[in-house]
Homo-oligomer: A and B are copies of this chain.
Amino acid sequence: MGSEPEASEREASADRIIAFSDGVVAIAITLLILPLTEIHPAEGATLADIIVENRAALGAFALSFAVIANYWTIHHDVFRPLRRHDARIGLLNMFWLAAIVFLPFPTALIADGIDGGFAAFYIGTLLVVSVLNLLIANYLAHDPELTDREATAESRRHVVASAFSVGAILIALIISLFSPSLGLFGLLLLFPAQVIAGRVNRVGQVNA
């Protein structure tokens, strides 16, 4: 057997792991609406009553939708150069998927209340996802066989971006131990963290 059909077989293989991941993320992001579909307005309740009563659940839905959408976009970017995959990247990806699938549980908890450690639990789950992003990007950056040429440079930029995200979420987690609501707002640190990571990456490119 020549090397070309084998390579194409491996590509299809990478395609399938990506398609499976997309399916899992698509379901996890859609299931977030389920708790809201179980709301039954009391006799005579207006839309305003329903929204005020369920504002935490609505906020938790919006937050987790944004979080999963963002993680999917990162996954999309990190896996884009992947042509083949091995058992280790498959395993790291399964842990990543487990953390994404798990997220609706802490989401449901913070919809009921953020005190008692629930905000920290939610932020901690995000920390796990981001650490797995870092491990995956790092693995791809060091195994150039797994990706396209030029992709190693791209993977290195993902490592930097993931590391800054882990830092931002870690700070939010520490804040949440003192003030749960401030901790959740601390997740906004992800935005400046990405801006700084972008600058670090641009400096790195110029120096290279």
Chain A residues near B (Cβ < 8 Å)? 1, 5, 9, 12-13, 16-20, 22-41, 44-50, 61-62, 65, 69, 72-73, 76, 80-81, 90, 94, 97-98, 101-102, 104-105, 107-109, 112-113, 116-118, 120-121, 148-150
Contact = CB atoms under 8 A, between A and B. Distances in A.
> In the complex, which of the residues A26, A65, A117, A148 has the most CB atoms of chain B within 10 Å of its own CB atom?
A26
A205 B7 CA distance: 22
Contacts of A16: 18, 22, 76
Given A109-B39, A118-B47, A101 B33 contact: yes
A108 B44 contact: no
A17 B108 contact: no
Contact of A117 (B5, B46, B80): B46
Nearest to A26: B23
A102 B33 contact: yes
A108 B37 contact: yes
Contacts of A62: 98
